[in-house]
Amino acid sequence: MPARRLLPPRAPRRVATVSVHTSPLDQPGAGDAGGMNVYIVEVSRRLAARGIAVDVFTRATSSDLPPVVEMSPGVTVRHVSAGPFEGLGKEELPAQLCAFTAGVLREEAQHEPGHYDVVHSHYWLSGQVGWLARDRWSVPLIHTAHTLAKVKNAALADGDRPEPRARVIGEEQVVAEADRLVANTEEEARQLVDHYGADPRRTLVVPPGVDLDRFRPGDRAAARRALGVPADAVVLVFVGRIQPLKAPDLLLEAAARMVEDDPALRDRLEVHVVGAPSGSGLEAPRRLEELAVRLGIADRVRFLPPQAPDRLALHYRAADVAVVPSHNESFGLVALEAQACGTPVVAAEVGGLPTAVDDGVSGVLVGSRDPAAYAAAIRSVLARRPLLAAGARRHAGAFSWERTADALVAAYASAAAEMAAGAVPARRERALGALRPVVGTQVAW
């Protein structure tokens, strides 16, 4: 009997993207919206540009939301009713996963079998839904974790609560079930293998991208005029959700140290904090403003709400240095956006930031939580800014959402071909297999 001939992988026609706890329509920088929202928006648009239709399933958080919204040509956001609309925290969402899953399955049931070719879930809550959809529809599950509970718990900020055991178990289940795990960096791939027993053969490294058309170098003087910033100001910018994990307090403490060391700097220094309280930061929403007062730099700090992308690009261009002092980041899209605008970055040497920032070339990585170390790093970047700005542009130019989308399409196609060939190993065997080193993990580009 002749050997079975495998057909070349075929790109999917339609992708079911699952994002339970946050919608791609939400403004990043507030609530639960952040880099994951940007990722889903940018990838979905580029899949659609390749002729792949994308349905994004997310939980309805208001009775005013229409059931279906066309986000862009070829990308549809479907609001699924699951639990009360308002006032439901992320930690309460596991109780609503049954209702959410029913809504997703009900939508697919209105079409002919085979409507979706692949499920791509984002964050562990969505992975639980995607796992069930995968088995019901007999299509591969691609999962991107974005953050991992075991990693977050190992680097908790003061005032942050550890992730619950239920999340850890949920992540372990999704890792065992997914046909492909998409990691942002080699470090995240190692964490999946070492901490969760992921199969290296099905763990891909696909770096996120940056919109190089929107986030690009521009006239810094013009950007400052548009934002009302003096031409001779020394501007430090923080962009992100205001919560202990992101550590904007560390930037304020570093800025205070810089003023203490060089009093002549006071009149020129501006610290821009772009974002809104989120997560555990909601418990004390004015904590950062109160810290600025205690440090004696309240008059040097501007607190700004989350900005639309084009306006955000102005803030990056106007800044001398972007600072990303997080306790942990799976990647750090803010760092990449700033560099794409020609602004060097000072960032914590954690998670994916050593990939997002080329230390000494596009910015400086800091391996300490000491404000003095951040102050010194910022001063070193200011002293070499023209050289680092050029390095920042070059480094960011190596990342694009087009390359991310190409790698994901290849992952979708190979997983589907593997499933069609009956080459998917037993789930239980994968879940209980011994941990293996990350050697052999595939880098998609």
Binding residues: 21, 27-28, 32-37, 90, 123, 147, 167, 241, 246, 307, 316-317, 319, 329, 337, 343
Burial of 390 (0-12, 13-18, 19+ CB in 10 A): middle
Is-contact 117 15, C-beta < 8 A? yes
* pLDDT value for 407: 96
Binding residues for 1D-myo-inositol 3-phosphate: 21, 32-37, 90, 123, 147, 167
Burial of 231 (0-12, 13-18, 19+ CB in 10 A): exposed
What pTM was estimated for this model as a whole?
Answer: 0.89
- Digit-coded pLDDT (tens) for 367-403: 999 999 999 999 999 999 999 999 999 999 999 999 9
Is-contact 57 125, C-beta < 8 A? no
The verdict on 195 and 144 lying in the same domain is yes
CA dihedral 369, 371, 373, 376 (to 10 degrees): 150
The verdict on 185 and 267 lying in the same domain is no
The verdict on 120 and 79 lying in the same domain is yes
- Digit-coded pLDDT (tens) for 173-225: 999 999 999 999 999 999 999 999 999 999 999 999 999 999 999 999 999 99
Question: Would residue 168 count as lying in a domain?
Answer: yes
The verdict on 387 and 412 lying in the same domain is no
* pLDDT value for 440: 42
CATH code where residue 190 lies: 3.40.50.2000
The verdict on 272 and 172 lying in the same domain is no
The verdict on 228 and 187 lying in the same domain is no
The identity of residue 170, as a single letter, is G
The verdict on 392 and 410 lying in the same domain is no
The verdict on 190 and 243 lying in the same domain is no
Binding residues for UDP-N-acetyl-alpha-D-glucosamine: 27-28, 35, 241, 246, 307, 329, 337
CA distance 216 to 220: 11
- Digit-coded pLDDT (tens) for 287-337: 999 999 999 999 999 999 999 999 999 999 999 999 999 999 989 999 999
Is-contact 45 211, C-beta < 8 A? no
**HSE (side-chain half, CA atoms, 13 Å) at 73:** 3
The verdict on 357 and 245 lying in the same domain is yes
CA distance 77 to 149: 27
The verdict on 46 and 154 lying in the same domain is yes
Given CA atoms 289, 291, 293, 299 in this order, what sign does their dihedral have?
negative
The verdict on 407 and 392 lying in the same domain is no
Binding residues for Mg(2+): 316-317, 319, 343
CA distance 138 to 119: 10
Which letter does DSSP use for residue 242 in this model? B
CA distance 201 to 178: 12
Question: Would residue 215 count as lying in a domain?
Answer: no
Question: Would residue 160 count as lying in a domain?
Answer: yes
CA distance 288 to 148: 26
Question: Would residue 171 count as lying in a domain?
Answer: yes
Question: Would residue 437 count as lying in a domain?
Answer: no
The verdict on 73 and 115 lying in the same domain is yes
Question: Would residue 66 count as lying in a domain?
Answer: yes
Q: Which residues span the domain enclosing 358?
A: 220-398
The residue assigned the tokens 């009302």 is: 228
Question: Would residue 227 count as lying in a domain?
Answer: yes
CA distance 403 to 42: 11
Looking at the DSSP bridge assignments, the partners of residue 62 are none
Spatial neighbors of 239 by CB under 8 A, at least 6 apart, are 29, 274, 275, 312, 315, 316, 322, 334, 337, 338
Total domains in the chain come to: 2
Q: What is the DSSP string of 148-210?
A: -HHHHHTTPPTTPPPPPHHHHHHHHHHHHH-SEEEESSHHHHHHHHHHH---GGGEEE-----
Question: Would residue 179 count as lying in a domain?
Answer: yes
- Digit-coded pLDDT (tens) for 402-421: 999 999 999 999 999 999 88
The identity of residue 66, as a single letter, is P
Across 96-116, average pLDDT:
95
Query: Rounded to the nearest 5°, which phi and psi values hold at 263?
Result: -55, -25
